[in-house]
Structure 1
C-alpha cells in the first residue's frame, strides 16, 4: 500500500496527467447529464402526447359516433403508442435517436404506419448523441493512451530506468502498479458519474454491476495493449504513434469495414421499401372488383364470410378488407426483413468478439434496451395493439352494427411492452476474456523488459 501511495504522489505531481483525468471526469459527467436530460425529455414527450391523445379522443367521440359507423371511427381515430426509455437508457441512447418512440396508429394498413418514422434526415442523425457509451468506447482509450504510452520510455530517456529497476520492489510489479493506478483512476472517472446517474434513474444494482464489469474489461483491454506497446523498448513518440494507430484501427477503421462487409453479406432492404410495396398493394385494390377483394379476404378470414352482400357504392367493410390484404400481401417481405435484421444483429455480436469497442457497445445497448431487439419488440407491441383494434371494429363493420359513444369509450388502449433487464452474458464474458488475455500478454512483456534492462 505504501508503494501505491508513493506512485500516487508521483502521479499527482504531473499536471498534464491530473488535467487529463479531470477532463475525462468532466466529459463523463456531461455525458451522464446529457443522457439523463434526453431521457427526461422523452418521458415528458410521452406524457404530453398521452394527455393530448386523451383530449383529442374526448373531442372526437361525439363527432365520429354521430352516424354510428365504425368505419369512420377506424379511419379518423388515431391511437397513441409509445416506448418508454428504461432506467439504463441514459447510458447508451442507441436507436432511440433515429427511430420513433411515439407513434400514433389507426385501423388501416399497418406496415406503412410502422415505417413512416424512418423518413428522417440522415445528416441529423450522423453525429449521434453524446452519451456515456460514446465516452467509454471512443474517448476513454485515448485518455488511457495518454496516461500509459511513456510509462517506460520516459524513465529510459531520462536515464532513471537502471536505478529504478535496482530497487527492491522493481520489475513486473512496478509497471503494473503504475499502469493499474492510472487505469483505475481513468475507470473511476467514467464509473463514478455512471453510478450517480444510475442511482438517480433507479437502475438496478445487477445492471450497474454488469455495466461496470463491461467498462473495466474494456479498460483492461486497452491497458494491456498500451503496456504491450510501451514495454517493447520504443521511444515515447513511437509508442504514442503506434497506440494512436491501434485506436484508429480498432475503433474506427475495422468497425467501419466490418459493417461494410456485413451489409454486403447480409443485405437488408429499407423499411421504406416495405411501406411502398404495401401502399402499392392498397392503392391497386381500388382497380380490383369489390367482390373479388372480399372473396380473397374471406379465404383468410372465413369467420366473416356470412356478411351481407355489398350494397351499391362505397362500403367500409370492403375498404378495411383491402387494407388488411395490403398488409398480408407484404407479410413474406416483412418476415424476410426481420430475419435479415436479426441475422445482421447476430453477425454484429460476433464481430464484437474480435473488436472490444463493438463488444462494449453491444453490451451497453442491450442493457439499456436501445438496440435493434428493443425496436423490434416495440413494433411487435404495436402490431399486437393494431390487431386488437381491428378485432374490436370488425364486428361492427361486417355485422353492420351501430357504433355508439360507449363503444368508442371501449376502444383498446395501448399496453407498452415490459422491458425486463437483459444482461448479455455471452458478449460480456467475451469482453472480459479479451481483457484478461491482453493483460496476461502484457505481464509477460513486463517481465522480459525488466530482465533485459536490468542486464
Structure 2
C-alpha cells in the first residue's frame, strides 16, 4: 500500500500526466452525458408517438365503416426502446430508426422509411463512452507508460533503481498499477454515474465495466512490451502511436472494406423502389391473375377470392402483399448479407482486439447491427399479424366498425417496454 501511495503522489506531481487523466475523465463524462441525452431523446420521441396514438385512433373511428378503411388509414406504432446500457455504446442507434409506424400495406417500402437527416452530421461518428475507451484511453495509457523505463534510463537512475531488492514488485508494479488504474478510474467513475442515472442492471453494468477493464489491460500490456525495449522514449512513443493508429483505425477500416467487398448485399433503396413500382403496377394487372397469385400464398381463402371488376379492398391488399413477395428474395439476401458481414466483423475482432471490444460493447448495450436486424424482423412478424387480422374481415365479409379498432393487434417490444 505504501508503494501505491508513493506512486500516486508522484503521479499527482506530474502536471502533464495529471492533466491527461483529467482530460480523459472530462471526455468520458461528456460522452456519458451525450449518451444519456441521446437515449432520453429516443424515449421522448417514442412517448410523443404513443401519446398521439389515441387521438389518431379516435379520428379514424369517426369515419371507419369497413375493414379496408381501418387497414389503409390505420397507422400502428412500433418502437425499439433503448436498453439501460445504450447510453454507453450508442452503436447503430444514431442511424437506425428507433420507431416506425406501419400500415397493412406493402411493408418493404415502409420499413426503410425514416426521418430525413443531414448525412454530414453522421460522418464524425458517435461520441460515446465506447469511443472514448477504444480510441482515447489508449493514447493516455501510451503517454503514461511509454517512458516507464527509458525515462529513468535517460535520467541516469535506471541501474540504481533496478539494483533495489525486488524492484519489479516494489517499484515497477505499483507504478504500472497506479497509472493504468488512473486511466481505468477516469472511465469507470463517469460510467458508474451514468449507469446509476440510467438504472442499468448491476450484472450488465459489471459486464460493461469488465470490457473497459479489458481495453485498459490490452493497451497496458502493449505499452509495457514496447517500453521494455532499450529504445529512447521518443522512439517508444512513436512506435506505440503507430500501433494505436494501425490497430484502431487502419486495420479495422481495411477489414471493413474487405468484408464489404467479399459479401455484397442488394441496394436497400433500390429494393424499396422496386417494391413500390411492383405495387403501383398492380393496378394495371388483371384482377384474376392477381387473386390467383395471392391464393397460392393463402389457399384458405380460395373459395372467397372472387372479386368484381370494380375496386375492392380484397384485390387492393392482395397486390400490396404481392409487392412484398416480389422483392422477398432480395430482402432476405439483404438481411443475410448484413448478418454475414456482422459475423465476419466479429471474427475479425478476435484478430483486432480494439475493434472486437468495441463490438462487444455495442452487443452488450443492444445497439449493434444484430439488434437492428432483430427489430426489423419483429416488425415483419407484427406486420404479418396485422395483415392477417384484416384479411379475416375482408375475405370473410365480416362487418367492421369503430369498436373493432380496439381489436387490432398491438406492438409488443422485445423487452416489454
1:105 aligns with 2:102: yes
1:46 maps to 46
Where in structure 2 are the equivalents of 1:355-434 lying within 5 Å? 355-418=352-415
Q: Structure 2-normalised TM-score?
A: 0.96
Aligned partner of residue 77 in structure 2, secondary structure: strand
Matched, 1:180 2:181: no
The answer to whether the Cα contact below 8 Å between 2:275 and 2:324 also exists between their aligned partners in 1 is: yes
Long gaps (5+) in structure 1 = 421-455
Structure 2 residue aligned with 1:306: 303
What are the equivalent positions in structure 2 for 1:28-107 lying under 5 Å apart? Answer: 28-63=28-63, 65=64, 68-107=65-104
Aligned positions of 1:279-318 closer than 5 A: 279-307=276-304, 309-318=306-315
Q: Distance in 2 between matches of 1:267 and 1:173?
A: 56
CA distance in structure 2 between the partners assigned to 1:118 and 1:164 by the alignment: 63
Structure 2: segments with no counterpart, 5+ residues: none
Q: Give me the whole-angstrom Cα distance separating, in 2, the residues matched to 1:309 and 1:21.
A: 74
Distance 1:305 1:128 in 2: 52
Q: Matched residue pairs, number?
A: 417
Give the corresponding residue for 2:133: 136
Shift of 1:154: 1.3
Q: Contact 1:145/1:240 (CA < 8 Å) preserved in 2?
A: yes
**Would you say the 8 A contact 2:271–2:327 is kept in 1?**
yes
Shift of 1:119: 6.7
Matched, 1:169 2:177: no
Deviation at 1:168, TM superposition (A): 2.1
| CA distance in structure 1 between the aligned counterparts of 2:199 and 2:246, rounded to whole angstroms | 36
Q: CA deviation at 1:69?
A: 2.1
Aligned residue number for residue 6 of structure 2: 6
CA distance in 2, matches of 1:118, 1:291: 38
Report deviation, 1:155. Answer: 0.9
Determine the structure 2 residue equivalent to 1:320: 317
Task: Between 219-228 and 334-343, report the one with greater CA deviation.
Answer: 334-343
Query: Residue 351 of structure 1 is aligned with which of 348, 351, 358?
Result: 348
Q: Which residue of 1 aligns with 2:337?
A: 340
> In 2, distance between residues paired with 1:171 and 1:400?
85
**Counterpart among 221, 225, 249 of residue 252 in structure 1:** 249
2:266·2:333 contact (CA, 8 Å) conserved in 1?
no
- Structure 1 residue 176, shift from structure 2 partner: 2.7
Once the 2 structures are TM-superposed, how far is the Cα of residue 397 of structure 1 from its aligned partner? 1.6
Distance 1:332 1:308, change over 3 A: closer
Aligned-CA RMSD value: 1.7
| SS in structure 2 at match of 1:306 | helix
* Distance in 2, Cα, partners of 1:347 & 1:202: 33
Contact 2:3 2:170 in 1 (8 A): no
- 2:78 counterpart SS class: strand
SS at match of 2:381: helix
Deviations 1:236-264 (A, max 9, x none): 11111111111110111000000000001
Cα distance in 2 between the residues matched to 1:116 and 1:236: 54
